[in-house]
């Protein structure tokens, strides 16, 4: 029988939707029936297990799944030995210490002797050790943000993204211990056939993510402005310049990255570009 690679994904929660979208764009659609915990994909030898994110690092470390998608926070907390095959760029958050809003906070030494509620006791212990802090770490599974308000702890250590949960609970972020994003993890020492499948997956993920962070640009320019405009548009090699039916004008095609997009568009307009079209790219192979 042909080798299949087995991937563990979050069953539901903040990583599920982005994970499914990424694999779909990479040409891998899972046949998920309602409530099914295992699914396969037509056209790629892969099988998916849907799990709670807490269970993904161990499932991969033990080889029950070969690879998985999980937040770095969860991966470091659990501490299993796995490889990070690729950072995925979604599920971005940070792990921070927060204190009651009105609390004076001189610096991290404030935490000495304090009771801190968290779902990430291992990461917090390590962070306190590195900073010479001795605190009472109180592990709770969920709703960490309410702990100070109900008198269960003096402060918390938890996931923050926008910070609105902290504000709603009258807490103030005072220190960031780590930044996290979703990562594709792999079992150490994968069999060669599975390693090959993993590399094919990474190749596809690269094509999707490079495409998503770039745009195809088409514009018209008077011939005497072409040289200036070509300098603004580097492109993958160099921009394509094509003649238009009107002999005094040319059409210029190129690719620009999302990061420099608005800056470049401003410069193009200022240099006489007209009829600028921006087109999304579906896949991009460099």
Evaluate whether 106 touches 174 at the Cβ level (below 8 Å). Answer: no
Nearer to ligand ATP, 119 or 254 (CB): 119
Residue 73 corresponds to which tokens in the numbers above? 């926070």
From CA 52, how far away is CA 239, in angstroms rounded?
A: 47
- What residues line the site for Mg ion (CB under 5 A)? 53-54
Q: Which does 91 bind (CB under 5 to 8 A by kind): ligand ATP, Mg ion, none?
A: ligand ATP
Distance in Å, CB of 47 to ligand ATP, minimum: 19
| Cα four-point dihedral sign 72, 75, 79, 85 | negative
CB of 90 or CB of 216, closer to Mg ion: 90
For 131, the token pair is: 């900073």
What is the closest distance, in whole angstroms, from the C-beta atom of residue 126 to ligand ATP in the complex?
17
Can you list the positions of beta strands (E) in 166-281? 171-180, 182-186, 214-222, 240-243, 249-257, 274-280
Closest by CA to 5, choosing from 72, 84, 80, 63, is: 63
Q: What is the distance between the alpha carbons of residues 14 and 71, in angstroms, rounded to a whole number?
A: 10
CB of 58 to ligand ATP, least distance (A): 13
Going by DSSP bridges, is the β-strand pair 46-51/5-10 parallel, antiparallel, or unpaired?
parallel
Binding site for ligand ATP (CB under 6 A): 10, 13-15, 52-54, 71, 73-74, 91-93, 159, 161, 180
Q: Which is nearer to ligand ATP, 117 or 190 (CB)?
A: 117
Tell the smallest beta-carbon distance from residue 77 to ligand ATP (Å): 9
Smallest distance from the beta carbon of 114 to ligand ATP, in angstroms?
A: 24
14 or 283: CB nearest ligand ATP: 14
In the bound state with ligand ATP, the residue whose beta carbon lies nearer, of 62 and 282, is: 62
């Amino acid at each position: 029988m042909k080798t299949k690679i087995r991937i563990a994904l979050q069953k539901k929660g903040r990583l599920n939707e982005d994970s499914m979208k990424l694999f779909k764009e990479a040409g891998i659609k899972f046949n998920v029936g309602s409530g099914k915990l295992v699914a396969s994909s037509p056209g790629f030898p892969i099988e998916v297990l849907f799990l709670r994110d807490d269970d993904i690092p161990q499932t991969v470390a033990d080889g029950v799944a070969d690879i998985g998608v999980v937040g770095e926070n969860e991966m470091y907390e659990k501490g299993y030995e796995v490889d990070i095959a690729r950072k995925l760029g979604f599920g971005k958050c940070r792990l921070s210490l927060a204190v009651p809003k009105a609390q004076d906070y001189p610096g991290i030494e404030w935490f000495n002797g304090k009771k801190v509620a968290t779902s990430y006791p291992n990461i917090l212990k390590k962070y306190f050790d590195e900073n010479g802090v001795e605190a009472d770490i109180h592990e709770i599974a969920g709703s960490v943000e309410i702990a100070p308000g109900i008198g269960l702890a003096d402060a918390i250590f938890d996931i923050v993204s926008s910070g609105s949960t902290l504000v709603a609970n009258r807490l103030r972020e005072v220190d960031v211990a780590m930044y996290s994003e979703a990562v594709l993890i792999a079992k150490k020492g994968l069999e060669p056939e599975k390693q090959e499948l993993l590399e094919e997956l990474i190749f596809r993920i690269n094509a999707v993510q490079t495409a998503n962070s770039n745009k195809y640009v088409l514009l018209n320019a008077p011939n005497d402005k072409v040289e200036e405009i070509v300098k603004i548009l580097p492109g993958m090699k160099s921009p394509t310049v094509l003649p238009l039916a009107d002999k005094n004008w040319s059409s210029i095609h190129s690719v620009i990255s999302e990061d420099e997009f608005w800056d470049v568009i401003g410069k193009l307009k200022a240099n006489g570009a007209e009829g600028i079209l921006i087109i999304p790219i579906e896949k991009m192979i460099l």
